[in-house]
Amino acid sequence: MGPHRRFQRLARACLGIAAGLLAAASQAQAADKVAMPKAELGSSALFARDGSLIAVAKQGEHVMLYRSRDEGRHWEPPVVVNVTPEPISADGENRPKVAETSEGALLVSWTRPLAKPYAGEIRLARGIDGGARFDSPITVHRDRQEITHRFESMLTGPANRVYLAWIDKRDLESAKTAGKRYRGAAVYLAMSEDGGQRFQPEIKLADHSCECCRIAGALDADGAPLFLWRHVFEPNERDHMLAKVSRGGTPVSAHRATFDRWKVDGCPHHGPSLAVAPTGVVHAVWFNQAHGAGRVFYGRLREGGVDGQRTVGGERAEHADLALADQRIAIVWKEFDGERTRLHAEVSRDGGATFESRALAVTERASDQPRALRRGGELFAFWRTEREGMRVFPLQ
């Protein structure tokens, strides 16, 4: 074989090796893209009684508490809520929560995932020294089966009471063992009378909740808790149920709250939001499919019907939240236009009779569900995005 032939073969071999390396690199890049974890941006926020803005979010295996004294323009160094690391759920429907008791203590709750799929525990930590540090977290419920205890909603009421409601599958597991059918999951509640230090044994609010939608909570005009969740009505209509609990933590009533009659054999992962006016009018936003189209709706809930039901935003509106201050109501939501996600709001000055639309912000990266916040008579939108971080938008 002459030198020229040997050179050609060597060149072809080198080109083959190079092509193989390029293909391997391309496959590795594709694998990296597939394996890249989704941004866990699920956060919650409130304005504390001192006027400061408090936010909680996941960082690794810790929940972090952030404080801003200028409406989110600057943030103080965060406080670690759980010193001992543990798994934490932080998607939009199942995110860490923050609340303030009637005596001024800060509480942070979250779901700790367990080894089995969809299994979890409801955790709570109580702030000390105004939230400068936290007690060791506790598990709220007595039931310790490795099953679903997830999607908690936390309310604080008068007399230092704390209420936590969550989606629970103990009754589903019991039905499976007995060879019986069972729709969905259940909603359970635990109450504390000492600001979250100890909780009474949990009680069941209702059977047959949807499995993976957030629960909304608000205090009624008389100070008693209300909880709103997506429910599986016979045989498979995924509308909403509204339950009232006494201030002492016992069930008072539960009735169907929305009537869109969405027949779907699966969970939409899209929970509602709830707020109650001083007059007792119950305002809500929710997502349902009606007349073949999935839309966000607003309405005023009453037993047996909905007053003033209307669509919110465009066809891609999602994950709306609601807050009110007397006659002023703020609805915030986001919409993805195929390239960017936009934050929108509607504000009513007349108790929900009319609304004004506002475009607030846009991002090109991942984003959390927006939150509507109240500080006295003021209303705000809170939105965390992967690129821009945590931001606040006054809705005056």
pLDDT tens series, the chain, 396 aa: 444 444 344 334 333 333 333 333 333 333 333 333 567 999 999 999 999 999 999 999 999 999 999 999 999 999 999 999 999 999 889 999 999 999 999 999 999 999 999 999 999 999 999 899 999 999 999 999 999 999 999 999 999 999 999 999 999 999 999 999 999 999 999 999 999 999 999 999 999 999 999 999 999 999 999 999 999 999 889 999 999 999 999 999 999 999 999 998 888 889 999 999 999 999 999 999 988 889 999 999 999 999 999 999 999 999 999 999 999 999 999 999 999 999 999 999 999 999 999 999 999 999 999 999 999 999 999 999 999 999 999 998
Rounded Cα distance, 163 and 227, in Å: 10
Selected from 1.25.40.10, 3.90.1530.30, 1.10.1040.50, 2.120.10.10, the CATH number assigned to the domain covering 40-394 reads: 2.120.10.10
- Give the ranges where 220-350 is alpha helix by DSSP (H): none
Rounded Cα distance, 135 and 267, in Å: 35
Listed in sequence order, the residues at least 6 apart from 193 whose beta carbon sits closer than 8 Å to its beta carbon are 159, 160, 161, 200
- 325 exposure class (CB count in 10 Å sphere: 0-12, 13-18, 19+): middle
Q: What is the pLDDT of residue 51?
A: 96
Closest listed residue to residue 361, CA positions, set 384, 338, 331: 384
Q: What is the pLDDT of residue 396?
A: 82
Cα 204 from chain centroid (whole Å): 21
Rounded alpha-carbon distances, angstroms, from residue 322 to 299, 315, 371, 380: 11, 19, 8, 10
Q: What is the pLDDT of residue 48?
A: 97
Peptide linkage before 113 cis (omega within 30 of 0): no
Rounded Cα distance, 244 and 205, in Å: 9
- In a 13 Å sphere around the CA of 32, the CA atoms on its Cβ side amount to 6
Q: What is the pLDDT of residue 372?
A: 98
